[in-house]
Amino acid sequence: MAFQPIYDAVAGRVWGYEALVRGFAGEGAYDVLSRVTPEQKYRFDQDCRVKAIELASRLFPVGEDLKLSINFMPNAVYEPAACLRATLQAAARFRFPTSAIMFEFTENEEVSDTGHLTNIITEYRKHGFTTAIDDFGAGHAGLGLLVDFQPDLIKIDMLLIRGIDTSPARQTVVAGIVDMADKLGITVLAEGIETEAEYLALQAAGIGLFQGYWFARPAFEELPPLRAAMMVSSAVGS
Q: How confident is the model at residue 17 (pLDDT cuts 50, 70, 90)?
A: very high
179 within domain boundaries: yes
**Given this model, what pLDDT does residue 123 score?**
84
> Is residue 51 assigned to a domain?
yes
Instruction: Give the whole-number percent of the chain exceeding pLDDT 70.
Output: 85
Whether residue 175 lies inside any domain: the answer is yes
**Average pLDDT of span 121-145:** 79
What CATH number is associated with residue 60? Answer: 3.20.20.450
Question: Which of the 8 DSSP states describes residue 18?
Answer: E
pLDDT at 75: 57
Residue closest to 137 by CA, chosen among 116, 168, 161: 161
Q: Is residue 80 part of a domain?
A: yes
Please report the pLDDT score of residue 29 as a whole number. Answer: 79
Confidence class for position 207, pLDDT limits 50, 70, 90: very high
User: In this model, does residue 235 exceed pLDDT 60?
Assistant: no
Count of alpha carbons within 13 Å of 163, Cβ hemisphere only? 5
Of 144 and 198, more confident = 198
What percentage of the chain carries pLDDT values higher than 90?
A: 56
- Whether residue 238 lies inside any domain: the answer is no
Coil vs helix vs strand at 70: strand
Least confident residue range of 95-99, 153-157, 229-233: 229-233
HSE at residue 50, side-chain half, CA atoms within 13 A, is 13
Q: Is the pLDDT of residue 156 over 90?
A: yes
Residue-number span of the structural domain to which 29 is assigned: 2-232
Q: What is the mean pLDDT of residues 30-57?
A: 88
Burial (Cβ within 10 Å: 0-12, 13-18, ≥19) of residue 204: exposed
- Give the 3-state secondary structure of 160-199: HHCCHHHCHHHHHHHHHHHHHHHHHCCEEEEECCCCHHHH
Band of residue 198 on the pLDDT scale cut at 50, 70, 90: very high
Residue 193's pLDDT band, with cuts at 50, 70 and 90, is very high
pLDDT at 170 over 80: yes
- What is the pLDDT, as a whole number, of residue 97? 94
- Which position has the higher pLDDT, 216 or 86? 216
Least-confidence region, from 8-12, 206-210, 232-236: 232-236
- Whole-prediction pTM value? 0.88
Is 33:42 a contact under the CB 8 Å cutoff? Answer: no
How would residue 162 be classed by pLDDT, with cut points 50, 70 and 90? very high
Task: Tally the domains of the chain.
Answer: 1
Neighbours of 61 (CB within 10 A): 8
Return d(Cα 168, Cα 232) in angstroms, integer: 30
